[in-house]
Amino acid sequence: MTPAGSLLVADALHKSYGPTTALDGAEFSIHPGEVVAVMGPSGSGKSTLLHCLAGIVTPDSGSILYNGREMATMSDAERSQLRRSEFGFVFQFGQLVPELTCVENVALPLRLNGTSRKAAEKAALTWMERLEVDDLGKKRPGEVSGGQGQRVAVARALVTDPRVLFADEPTGALDSLNGERVMELLTDAARTTNAAVVLVTHEARVAAYSDREIVVRDGKSRDMERVV
Ligand SMILES: Nc1ncnc2c1ncn2[C@@H]1O[C@H](COP(=O)(O)OP(=O)(O)OP(=O)(O)O)[C@@H](O)[C@H]1O
Ligand SMILES: [Mg+2]
């Protein structure tokens, strides 16, 4: 059963890569608008959990319900439609397209969904203003700083108004000051749109921006009481 009000719920997830067990009974749940930090040591299964929740990796067994629907029963086309329209992604290195300008990068998910160039770039600029990078529109990713690039990547992830934002070490390549600014803007923006945020991080300082923390160890997850 879906816990009341949960948007995304996973239970008893198992995933192995050959002899390596990446997930060993992991569970997860998140509400609309909630920011959940996924913490744990390197190799514990954090990214694998995020990729399963996002429909990028198929678990060997276990259940993932999005909006009450079992992801395993969706066709590949349905899952990729879900990723395009309901999910947003930010990774450690923003993975911006180097040949496109920043505004074209942010507009790209809308363009891929069939939005006209003019409307897509207008929406992109609104998001770039919120992330305080609207002055970088004409620059290419190679011409901006790491922190600016990550804010452009956050704007791109949010431009489609996703219900869930998946962020895997979004500040991992930034110094602490830039990292905190990215986290402030990311969580503010997500709260404005009531997007849920699944935030994978090693850093307690980054996890402090979440509403709740879970810890993954040896492919198993558990809730961690926030120690204030
Ligand atoms: N595509 C893959 N092929 C083979 N093994 C994999 C693959 N992806 C992950 N693993 C293994 O699964 C385990 C969990 O990896 P995962 O990437 O989920 O860890 P993580 O917690 O995200 O680590 P980090 O903090 O270093 O990013 C590790 O032992 C890893 O080597
Ligand atoms: Mg990882």
pLDDT score of 226 more than 80: no
DSSP the chain: -PPTT-SEEEEEEEEEETTEEEEEEEEEEE-TT-EEEEE--TTSSHHHHHHHHTTSS--SEEEEEETTEEGGGS-HHHHHHHHHHTEEEE-SS----TTS-HHHHHHHHHHHTT--HHHHHHHHHHHHHHTT-GGGTTS-GGGS-HHHHHHHHHHHHHTT--SEEEEESTTTTS-HHHHHHHHHHHHHHHHHHT-EEEEE-S-HHHHTTSSEEEEEETTEEEEE----
pLDDT at 113: 87
164 forms beta bridges with 87, 196
Cα–Cα distance measured from residue 119 to residue 123, given in angstroms and rounded to the nearest whole number: 6
Closest ligand 1 atom to 51 CA: 18
pLDDT at 10: 97
- Joined tokens for residue 27: 């569970």
Closest ligand 1 atom to 44 CA: 21
Q: What is the mean pLDDT of the chain?
A: 92
pLDDT at 225: 65
pLDDT at 223: 85
Nearest listed ligand to the Cα of residue 216: 1
Which amino acid type is present at position 150?
A: Q
Nearest listed ligand to the Cα of residue 57: 1
Distance (angstroms) between ligand 1 centre and the Cα of 193 equals 31
Angle at 155 between CA 152 and CA 161, to 5 degrees: 165
Which amino acid type is present at position 99?
A: E
**Mean pLDDT of all residues in 167-180:** 90
Closest ligand 1 atom to 200 CA: 22
Distance (angstroms) between ligand 2 centre and the Cα of 46 equals 6
Match 């219900």 to its residue by tokens. Answer: 163
pLDDT at 173: 86
Distance (angstroms) between ligand 1 centre and the Cα of 20 equals 9
pLDDT at 2: 56
Q: pLDDT tens, 37-91?
A: 999 999 999 999 999 999 999 999 999 999 999 999 999 999 999 998 899 999 8
Q: pLDDT tens, 92-125?
A: 887 899 999 999 999 999 999 899 999 999 999 9
- Joined tokens for residue 72: 């395993």
Work out the pLDDT band at 21, boundaries 50, 70, 90: very high
pLDDT at 227: 47
| Cβ < 6 A, ligand 1 pocket | 17, 20, 22, 40, 42-48
Which residues have a beta carbon within 5 Å of ligand 2, which is an ion? 47
pLDDT at 137: 86
Contact 54, 82 (CB under 8 A): no
Cα–Cα distance measured from residue 93 to residue 182, given in angstroms and rounded to the nearest whole number: 13
Closest ligand 1 atom to 18 CA: 4
**Greatest pairwise CA separation for the chain in angstroms:** 50
Cα–Cα distance measured from residue 184 to residue 131, given in angstroms and rounded to the nearest whole number: 10
pLDDT at 95: 87
Residue 142: CB atoms within 10 Å:
9
pLDDT score of 184 more than 80: yes
pLDDT score of 162 more than 60: yes
pLDDT at 3: 65
- Joined tokens for residue 135: 């002055």
**Mean pLDDT of all residues in 214-226:** 87
> What does pTM read for this prediction?
0.93
**Mean pLDDT of all residues in 135-163:** 94
Which residue has its alpha carbon closest to ligand 1 atom 13?
22
Cα–Cα distance measured from residue 108 to residue 110, given in angstroms and rounded to the nearest whole number: 5
